[in-house]
Amino acid sequence: MAGSQYEQVLARLREASEILKLDPGIFKILAEPERTLEVALPVQMDDGRIEVFMGYRCQHSTARGPAKGGVRFALDVCMDEVKALASWMTWKCAVVGIPYGGGKGGVCVDPTKLSKNELARLTKRYVYAIQSIIGPEKDIPAPDMGTNAEVMGWFYDAYSVLTNTFSPGVVTGKPIPIGGSLGRREATGRGVMVSARELLARVGKSAEGMTCAVQGFGNVGSVAAEIAYQMGMKVVGVSDVTGGLYNPAGLNIPALVRYADEHRVIEGYSEPGASKISNAELLELDVEMLIPAALQGQITEANAANIKAKYIVEGANGPTTAGADKILEAKGVICVPDILANAGGVTCSYFEWVQNLQHFYWSEEEVNTRLDAIMSKAFKEVWDFAKEHNLSLRTGAYMLSINRVSEAIKMRGIFP
């Protein structure tokens, strides 16, 4: 459908492919997912009635390794969204150089309306329905919106029982006692701020005193805000689904994080000098750095002209539309794209998978050191490539990643 999320993905793919002069046959391969699966999931609810939920899994590319990507439980989950997110995962894994392809999955459900037992039954039914296409060397899911480490524990258990194997590597983002990796929960937000640090170093700016706003205060946004605060930034605005807060003197981020950990939302938090703002207002605050870490499609052609930030570091997947990109570029805004900036999560998932396969586990310090090294190297490669070819960081990141996937396809050949 025109204007769909997958169309946004294809627009970026076309742009980068034209500059690369990509083989038309390779473009056709990359423009279509390798496999999509839609499943109906009957679940017996606590009161005895049966509900049927729709589930999805998409494997965009396995040219560079097993498909990798989260599973989200949300009411707006559909195949178009899953295809778009799977494609982004392909580029994300390629741009940071980890040996995965892109995958994504989800179930159309409001998880807040289900009991824990109902969620466990839904998760295990979903695993049963997609078990033929997943596995430690096929497709490795992870948590996403509406899912968490506990859900991944159920996922791992169901797969292991169904296959009669010990398979912790089938899924990442698990609880620590059953094979999860130290540092995984903070990895995406930490990677966002590694990207922010590397960007500031290259534009000759100091983090100390820099004004910053963060949209989204879940695992990604809250960690990014906390690290920004530790770096000396003045985080003047944050928001989540319940709305936002603005304090021109800078918010007390450690206190706000403690409140959000306890209440799950920032609604109800107050501090001297802070006022309520909307998510839309947060995006247009007069700040130097903006970190969109909520949902896709937040910065559009309708509001891009009103964005005042000079630097955008994308914590969410697809927060900026292709049309908005053009407006921001014309204004001289430097945007670190999602496929680079938020790749810390999948990088740490890779670490978890490696630890599971080796049955040898690392300290949190080792995880964070390795994460910093991979993210810093990827940023340098994208920055240098983009500058050498006079491109935006997004186009440069896409070109690098598309080229790496294309090379893998050519080297492997077309079977049969």
Domains of the chain: 35-167 (3.40.50.10860), 185-336 (3.40.50.720)
Q: Strands (DSSP E) along 152-251, which ranges?
A: 211-215, 234-240, 243-246
What is residue 78's DSSP assignment? -
Run of H or E including 408? helix 393-412
Which of 68, 92, 104, 174 is flagged as catalytic? Answer: 104
Q: Please say whether the beta carbons of 95 and 339 come within 8 A.
A: yes
Contact 244, 292 (CB under 8 A): no
- Residue 388: CA count within 13 A, CB half-sphere: 10
Q: Provide DSSP, 115-179.
A: -HHHHHHHHHHHHHHHGGG-BTTTEE--B-TT--HHHHHHHHHHHHHHHTS--GGG-SS--GGGT
User: Minimal CA–CA distance to 126: which of 103, 165, 152?
Assistant: 152
Rounded Cα distance, 140 and 349, in Å: 9
> Is 104 in the active site?
yes
| Residue 260 to residues 72, 110, 239, 269, 290, Cα–Cα distance (Å) | 21, 21, 11, 8, 20
Give the helix ranges, DSSP H, for 274-359: 279-283, 322-330, 338-341, 344-358
Q: Which of 223, 230, 181 is nearest to 367 (CA)?
A: 181
For 244, the 3-state DSSP assignment is strand
* Cα–Cα distance measured from residue 149 to residue 134, given in angstroms and rounded to the nearest whole number: 18
Distance CA(348)–CA(371), nearest Å, equals: 7
Give the C-alpha separation, 246 to 347, whole Å. 32
Identify the three-state secondary structure at position 13: helix
Instruction: Yes or no: say if 382 and 340 are a contact pair by the CB < 8 Å rule.
Output: yes
Contacts of 390 (CB under 8 A, 6+ apart): none
CA 66 to each of CA 135, 147, 212, 276: distance values in angstroms, whole numbers, following the listed order? 9, 21, 37, 44
What are the structure tokens assigned to 117, written together?
């037992």
Whole-number Å distance between alpha carbons of 253 and 228: 9
Predicted confidence at residue 8, as pLDDT, reads: 86
Residue among 260, 208, 217, 209 at smallest CA distance from 237? 217
pLDDT in tens, the chain (416 residues): 346 889 988 988 999 999 999 999 999 999 999 999 999 999 999 999 999 999 999 999 999 999 999 999 999 999 999 999 999 999 999 999 999 999 999 999 999 999 999 999 999 999 999 999 999 999 999 999 899 999 999 999 999 999 999 999 999 999 999 999 999 999 999 999 999 999 999 999 999 999 999 999 988 999 999 999 999 999 999 999 999 999 999 999 999 999 999 998 999 999 999 999 999 999 999 999 999 999 889 999 999 999 999 999 999 988 999 899 999 999 999 999 999 999 999 999 999 999 999 999 999 999 999 999 999 999 999 999 999 999 999 999 999 999 999 999 999 999 98
Q: In Å, how far are 75, 189, 215, 271, 407 from 241, measured between CA atoms?
A: 15, 18, 9, 19, 41
pLDDT of residue 2: 41
Q: What are phi and psi of 36, to 5 degrees?
A: -130, 145
H or E element: which one contains 53? strand 50-61
Tokens of 26: 């390779």
